[in-house]
């Protein structure tokens, strides 16, 4: 099976432009022979600390899923990706949808825990993320920092024939002292590169991991600083034993990684850690995880949660 992992350069909160960019990349991947095409998380909006995202969530039957269903049916491909999805209960979730070549939704997975300022825009889910492909096989969905957590490996281990997902992983900014922050970013970049191969070995299945690329500038929650950095990129396809078959680095810009993959589970080669985190987060991400989680939950209740047609404006 020839598969593609898309690398997208999104415009924050510009839904129509981002969907148009996704459509072009999918069409290009199909022209290159792809039968499966995976989009990254937040493919309709990108992600930053930006008030515009509070009103950028789409319904589960909105234009994002409609685009996926149309592209799947028209090109006879399987397609997946996640976006900010506002459900009927008024809550927004980071929902990963997988769509069959007939244009039918095979399944949905809601990311378990928002990362850092993502807490401002959605709440977590608690499903298993195992999606029946209808042919005796199953796909496991994992989104961004779910690749960082042992609970993800446990819920998918030995149960799926492929892991599909994507990330919007931002860099550590070049603050002072620059030497220290450069070292922190080097470690952050190495972690971003290693999550997909590691999950493949833990689960025992190939991984199709889509990504974002480009620069990212925005405010910082509760800090008198601006974030200026980039998306780590790294659209990647790995075998079940963690061998990287194809990768698109951040500096290559938007496009896709393409490879032939045997969509079949194998015996996991690595043991799952008893620790919560599979990989070290580093001092700065660990601090921001805690602080921005507190801030984000307050922000979400004020601006992103929509219990009725009228959203709270305080």
Is-above-0.75 flag for pTM? yes
- Tokens for 31, please give them: 């022209």
Measured between alpha carbons, how far is 175 from 310 in angstroms, rounded to an integer?
Answer: 40
Q: Residue 6 has what DSSP assignment?
A: E
In angstroms, the Cα distances linking 182 to 35, 48, 115, 232, 284 are 39, 21, 22, 14, 12
Q: What is the pLDDT of residue 307?
A: 87
Bridge partner residues of 4 (DSSP): 37, 258
CB 114 within 8 A of CB 80: no
Nearest one of 71, 11, 70, 10 to 37, comparing CA atoms: 71
* Pair type for strands 244-249 and 233-238: antiparallel
pLDDT of residue 308: 61
Q: Print pLDDT tens along the chain (314 aa).
A: 999 999 999 999 999 999 999 999 999 999 999 999 999 999 999 999 999 999 999 999 999 999 999 999 999 999 999 999 999 999 999 999 999 999 999 999 999 999 999 999 999 999 999 999 999 999 999 999 999 999 999 999 999 999 999 999 999 999 999 999 999 999 999 999 999 999 999 999 999 999 999 999 999 999 999 999 999 999 999 999 999 999 999 999 999 999 999 999 999 999 999 999 999 999 899 999 999 999 999 999 999 999 865 444 43
- Confidence at residue 309, expressed as pLDDT on a 0 to 100 scale: 53
The per-residue pLDDT for 56 is: 98
End-to-end CA, the chain: 51
């Amino acid at each position: 099976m020839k598969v593609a992992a898309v690398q997208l350069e999104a415009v924050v909160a510009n839904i129509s432009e981002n969907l148009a960019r996704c459509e072009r990349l999918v069409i290009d991947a199909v022209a290159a022979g792809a039968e499966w095409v995976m989009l990254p998380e937040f493919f309709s909006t990108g992600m930053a600390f930006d008030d515009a995202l509070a009103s950028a969530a789409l319904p589960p039957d909105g234009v994002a899923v409609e685009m996926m269903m149309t592209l799947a049916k028209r090109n006879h491909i399987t397609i997946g990706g996640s976006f900010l999805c506002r459900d009927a209960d008024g809550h927004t979730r980071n929902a990963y949808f997988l769509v069959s070549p007939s244009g039918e939704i095979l399944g949905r997975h809601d990311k378990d825990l928002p990362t850092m300022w993502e807490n401002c825009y959605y709440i977590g889910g608690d499903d298993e993320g195992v999606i029946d492909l209808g042919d005796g096989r199953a796909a496991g969905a994992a989104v961004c920092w779910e690749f960082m957590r042992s609970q993800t490996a446990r819920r998918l281990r030995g149960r799926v024939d492929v892991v599909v997902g994507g990330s919007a992983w931002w860099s550590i900014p070049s603050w002072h002292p620059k030497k220290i922050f450069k070292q922190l970013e080097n470690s952050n970049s190495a972690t971003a590169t290693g999550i997909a191969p590691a999950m493949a070995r833990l689960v025992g299945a190939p991984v199709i991991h889509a990504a974002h690329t480009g620069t990212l500038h925005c405010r910082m929650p509760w800090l008198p600083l601006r974030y200026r950095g980039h998306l780590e990129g790294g659209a990647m396809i790995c075998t079940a034993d963690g061998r990287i078959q194809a990768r698109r680095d951040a500096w290559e810009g938007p496009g896709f990684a393409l490879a032939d993959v045997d969509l079949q589970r194998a015996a996991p080669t690595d043991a799952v850690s008893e620790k919560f985190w599979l990989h070290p987060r580093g001092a700065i991400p660990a601090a921001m995880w805690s602080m921005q989680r507190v801030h984000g939950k307050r922000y979400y209740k004020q601006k992103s949660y929509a219990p009725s047609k009228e959203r709270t404006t305080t």
